[in-house]
Amino acid sequence: MEAESQASAIIPLALPKGAEKFCELCQREARLQCSKCRVTFYCAAEHQQADWVGIHERICQLLVPIRALTLCSLRQTSHTETQIKKLIEICRLVAQSKLSEGKHQEALPAAQLCLRCSIDVHGPNTVQLVPAYLLLAEANMGEKQAQNDFLSQAEWAVLKSPKCGLTIHHQLHRSLGRLHVAAGDLDTALHNFANDIYFATEEYGLDSTVTSRGYFLMADVFTKQGKIPTVHSLYSEVARIWHRHLTRLLETRKESIQNPPVDSFYAERVEVDEMLRTMLEFEQKDTRKDPARIAVVAHCLAMLSFLGGDFLKVIQTVSKLGPQHKEKKKNQASQRFHFIDTILVHTNHFFFFKNTIN
Ligand SMILES: [Zn+2]
Ligand SMILES: [Zn+2]
């Protein structure tokens, strides 16, 4: 069930004297406030609605302690700083998942807040602002000037701090790669994704899910270039990494099934779901369908939905797998064993799921 966004006129008496209020999105003078948290302000209902959909719905109550304290004392305690850092992470993940769904406009409020909070914690002109600049550059798809401004700020911040971490370099190259894909410059995009993978590998390892996203993005470029065998091998690698990662997550969840999924997992799930669906569609469309490859990706999707508590999707994914099993030729023995093996793992999880809801 989705919560409704609500706004009311600002009650000046409820605020510290002389504190002028500005719109969360455009920084113009505010006339409305969010009636749920009462610490967020808007110029008009239109911006309140856009912010609600973009990010506010998820962080409305989280803002109350942070902003109430800042309003009263204008002094940040270390606890507030921890809260703001948590907020930055949520904004980053929400903006990221909206971007990967192609909702650039909707990603803007989260990306903007990510930058403002990052400035609050780290100060202006710091390398820690780079992830926020990159999100803003991507969210401003189609606005060439704004996009270039944010990218230049990001590149400048990285140049200024030669000792900045590998993560920043990997994020910078990933964003540059995505932007070059959007601009149709595929060779430059590939060059950036290769750098992205290099830095991600240095920081997280060859088999990490962070690095796998780089393989996926690279595969997307190869698809556009018609290099299908390369796409297959990259997708297999991505599927292998995620299969292992999700299996492990599922094992941990078995021990603590009552734990609700954390917010950060939800945001990541949207992105990973999108990625796996693209891969599944690609494998299914292929003229020489490989059931084993399809099964691994489908199993990943089922595990992901399961972990997110979306049991209906688990059943849908499992039932879709049935007919393909029958379609298979009898001489593909090794593939069949691989496939049945996967189905068995599936079934285990399926029973586990049934036990959970009973
Ligand atoms: Zn506004
Ligand atoms: Zn609110």
The one-letter amino acid at 12? P
At residue 262, the pLDDT reads 54
Ligand 1 centroid distance, CA of 74 (Å):
23
Sequential DSSP letters for 169-186: HHHHHHHHHHHHHHHT-H
- Angstrom CA distances, 27 to 20, 122, 195, stand at 11, 21, 37
d(CA 56, CA 201): 34
Q: Parallel, antiparallel, or unpaired for β 41-42 and 7-9?
A: unpaired
Give 65-95 pLDDT, tens digit per residue. Answer: 888 765 555 455 677 888 899 999 999 989 9
Query: What residues flank ion ligand 2 with Cβ within 5 A?
Result: 34, 36-37, 40, 60
d(CA 183, CA 87): 31
Compute the C-alpha angle 236/240/242, nearest 5°: 120
Give 138-193 pLDDT, tens digit per residue. Answer: 999 888 899 889 989 998 998 888 778 898 899 899 988 988 898 889 999 999 99
At residue 264, the pLDDT reads 56
In this prediction, residue 353 has a pLDDT band, given cuts at 50, 70 and 90, of very low
**E strand or H helix at 34:** strand 32-34
Lookup: tokens for 248: 């492990």
At residue 75, the pLDDT reads 54
Q: Please say if the pLDDT value at position 300 is more than 60.
A: yes
Ligand 2 centroid distance, CA of 140 (Å):
25
Ligand 2 centroid distance, CA of 272 (Å):
28
Q: What is the pTM of this model?
A: 0.72
Dihedral angle computed from the Cα positions of residues 152, 156, 162 and 165, in that order, rounded to the nearest 10 degrees = -50
At residue 336, the pLDDT reads 41
Dihedral angle computed from the Cα positions of residues 69, 73, 78 and 79, in that order, rounded to the nearest 10 degrees = -20
d(CA 348, CA 244): 16
Report the share of the chain in percent with pLDDT over 70.
Answer: 78
Residues near 296 by beta carbon (within 8 Å), at least 6 away in sequence: 236, 239, 240, 243, 342
d(CA 16, CA 27): 19
Ligand 1 centroid distance, CA of 268 (Å):
29
Report the share of the chain in percent with pLDDT over 90.
Answer: 47
